[in-house]
Amino acid sequence: MKKTLLFCSLFALAAFNFMSCDDEDENNKDNTTNNGGGATSNLSAEFVGASDCLGSPYDTEGTRAGGDNLAMSYKFDSAKGEIVLNIEKIVLNCAAIPKMDFKFNGDTIIFNVYDANTGDQADCICTYDVTSKVNGAESKVYYVRPEFSIGEETVQVLELSQKSEGTVYFPQ
């Protein structure tokens, strides 16, 4: 009886120990949403604004340098610790109110462009440019990806120590 109790206690202790060694840190899930820092990230973000409708995406398909891929231009100001990010020609409804939110996970910047219009939608689509700022950036490597991405090919690298501005493309 004592051996059985001892064995069960050791088994329960071992199982608890394995469960507590899980790599996921509950304080580090998706550190922040808009305008905040997190446990492993000093970054924060603010939405700057969006353009008016730039026209139908059918008028411009395949004419960008990146083809029909989603393009993000960036410009880093090391003195301010600020990266200005501009998503170019995002396709949304004509009645859209374009917005952009961020989450941070260490040195990974995760963005989500969405339509904040919860009312009536139009029977057309438009392209918009959406601009935001990421604050607290340093002259180092950051990874950037859309929130709803498929695979590693949607993660792009911003090597801010080598290049302070440029454009990256995300396959769609």
Residue 78 backbone phi and psi in degrees, to 5: -65, -30
- Structural domain spans, the chain: 31-170
pLDDT tens digits, residue range 91-148?
Answer: 999 999 999 999 998 899 999 999 999 888 999 999 999 999 999 999 999 999 888 7
Contacts of 40 (CB under 8 A, 6+ apart): 28, 31, 105, 106
Helix (H) or strand (E) holding 11: helix 2-20
58 phi and psi angles, rounded to 5 deg: -70, -20
Percent of the chain with pLDDT over 90: 44
Are the C-beta atoms of residues 172 and 87 closer than 8 Å to each other?
A: no
* Res 83: pLDDT: 95
Considering the entire predicted model, what is its pTM? 0.68
